[in-house]
Amino acid sequence: MKDFTPYTEEEFKELKAVIDSITTHIPNDRMGYIWNNHNYINKTNIPQPCSCGSAAAHWNSATQTIREFVRSKEHLILTND
């Protein structure tokens, strides 16, 4: 059985698609999604930072958290189990 915990397979595929589409700039309409998933993966409830340059380190941390999570689970998409 595939284990995408804490996500379903469909939610994981969406998360992967979104994070793969982000290169250097998080679109404003995706900021809440990114931050909420960062909190969800880390099991935290940290308030979302602003979108200004001074918060770049927070956003970098959020995207890195998601990228690492996706990398750790993406092999499951390719299995037939």
pTM above 0.85, yes or no: yes
User: What is the Cα 79 distance to its own chain's centre?
Assistant: 21
**Per-domain boundaries in the chain:** 9-78
Per residue in 24-64, pLDDT tens?
899 999 999 999 999 999 999 999 999 999 999 999 999 99
Whether the CB-CB separation of 78 and 9 falls below 8 Å is answered with no
In whole angstroms, what is the distance from residue 13 CA to residue 36 CA?
16
In whole angstroms, what is the distance from residue 60 CA to residue 50 CA?
13
